[in-house]
Every structure is written in C-alpha cells, then in structure tokens.
C-alpha cells in the first residue's frame, strides 16, 4: 500500500540501530537520483554523495576509530550550531539528548556511557551503508540550504523504499580523516554522514522521538480572513 506524503513525513525519524540486511545498490541509486531532484538555485546542484559499504565502509570506520583512540582533536571546518548557543536552544538540545539517553538506559551522570553512544556516530551506528555528503568549498551559504533540501529528499526517498536512515553531523568533526581516507579532491568539504539500512524495529533507541514545535510557534499568517 502506497503511503501518502504526510504519512511518509510522520513515519520518518532518525534510525540508530539497523539489521544486518544489505542495501541493494539499485535502491541506493534511486535514493541518490531522487535527492538530486531537490530544488537548486540557478541549478548549481551543490553536493556530492560518496556511498560506502563492506570493506570500504569498514576501512573508514576503522580510520575514525583510530583517530579517536589517538585523542586526535576534532577539526571543525564550519559551524553547525550557533556560537554561542542561546539558552533556549541549549535547553532544547539537552532535552533531546536526555530523551535519547533515557531510551538507551544511559543515566544523566553516566559520562562514559554518553561518550560511548556518541562515538557510535563514527561507526555509522553499524549500518550496512554509510554515506558521506560533501560540498564544493567555493559554494556560498545559500548552497548549503540547497544541499539541505537534497539531504532531506535523500532521507525521504530512503524511507519510501523501506529503509531507515539518520544524518550524522558529527562526521564533520573528523572531516580531515574522511577526506584523506577517501582521497577526496581538495575542493570538497565534508558536510555530514548518513547511515542507511533496514531498521531494527526491536531496538529501544528506534522508539525514541523528538518533539516538534506547535504550528503557532513558528508560523504566522497574514491577509487571511479568519
């Protein structure tokens, strides 16, 4: 049964536990082709997807693990969050984090447990497919918006084909490791990662959901009769 667009939006969520089932290359091609159909100012089509599985993915995960084991400092080439983080946004960030850790049974004061869970970002949450999204360094800030629309289309296309996925902004913290391991051109900036695979429906972490603001919080209407 085909789902409506609203159902697709409602059912999509960040998946952080996957089965071992492989993802067909043909499905990944469909997902990437769908992502490229996202709106693009002046048709610049910013962003590339580097799709890894098997030994290629294992090698990258190993390189990232080794960097963490060496306590290599993160390299941030762009600011993901506001600096400084406003108090009201910090509260929202903490609430989402606490809800995630609660779903995993990790106590607030369990610093080691929280760090171990965060480190799973760099293992793509053991998904069978890991994707690295990059953008040309010469692109303007507006092109990041276009890439964001492409990423959202990617996530919805994966959901539509029956896969789970989650964006991994933390990959940019070790963009230099990713860049070197994949031998990317100097002009490509690592923006984020994406984990893709079949959802583990039994995993507690996949039962966790974040809350969204009510319509009146972020929307205003002008010129309407009612």
pLDDT for res 76? 80
pLDDT for res 108? 82
Mean pLDDT of the chain: 94
SS (H, E, C) 31-81: HHHHHCCCCCHHHCCCCEEEEEEHHHHHHHHHHHHHHHHCCCCCECCCCCC
pLDDT for res 1? 57
Candidate from 76-80, 86-90, 202-206 with smallest mean pLDDT? 76-80
Q: What is the band of 109 on the pLDDT scale with cuts at 50, 70, 90?
A: confident
Candidate from 47-51, 65-69, 129-133 with smallest mean pLDDT? 65-69
Task: Report the pLDDT averaged over residues 59-64.
Answer: 97
Taking a C-beta distance cutoff of 8 angstroms, is the pair 47, 133 a contact?
Answer: yes
Task: Report the pLDDT averaged over residues 184-200.
Answer: 97
For residue 116, give the nearest of 131, 101, 129 by alpha carbon: 101
- pLDDT of 53 above 90: yes
- pLDDT of 79 above 90: no
- pLDDT of 188 above 60: yes
Distance CA 127, CA 197 (A): 6
Strands (E), 105-172: 129-136, 164-168
Taking a C-beta distance cutoff of 8 angstroms, is the pair 76, 176 a contact?
Answer: no
Task: Report the pLDDT averaged over residues 123-138.
Answer: 97
CA angle at 135 for the pair 51 and 167, rounded to the nearest 5°: 55
- Which residue has 């010469």 as its token pair? 138
Domain architecture of the chain: domains with CATH: 5-77+124-204 (3.40.109.10)
């Amino acid at each position: 049964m085909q789902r409506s667009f609203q159902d697709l939006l409602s059912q999509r969520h960040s998946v952080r536990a996957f089965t071992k089932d492989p993802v067909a290359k043909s499905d990944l091609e469909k997902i990437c082709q769908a992502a490229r159909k996202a709106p693009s100012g002046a048709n610049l089509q910013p962003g590339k997807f580097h799709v890894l599985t098997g030994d290629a993915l294992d090698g990258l995960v190993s390189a990232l693990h080794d960097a963490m084991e060496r306590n290599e400092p993160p390299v941030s080439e762009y600011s993901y969050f506001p600096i400084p983080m406003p108090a009201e946004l910090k509260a929202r960030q903490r609430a989402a984090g606490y809800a995630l850790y609660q779903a995993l049974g990790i106590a607030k004061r369990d610093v080691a447990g929280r760090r171990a869970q965060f480190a799973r970002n760099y293992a793509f949450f053991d998904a069978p497919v890991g994707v690295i999204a990059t953008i040309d360094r010469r692109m303007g800030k507006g092109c990041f918006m276009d890439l964001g629309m492409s990423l959202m289309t990617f996530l919805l296309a994966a959901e539509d084909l029956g896969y789970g996925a989650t964006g991994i902004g933390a990959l940019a913290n070790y963009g230099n490791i990713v860049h070197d391991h994949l031998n990317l051109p100097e002009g490509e900036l690592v923006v984020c990662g994406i984990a893709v695979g079949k959802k583990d429906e039994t995993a507690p972490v996949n039962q966790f959901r974040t809350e969204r603001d009510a319509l009146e919080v972020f929307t205003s209407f002008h010129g309407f009769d009612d």
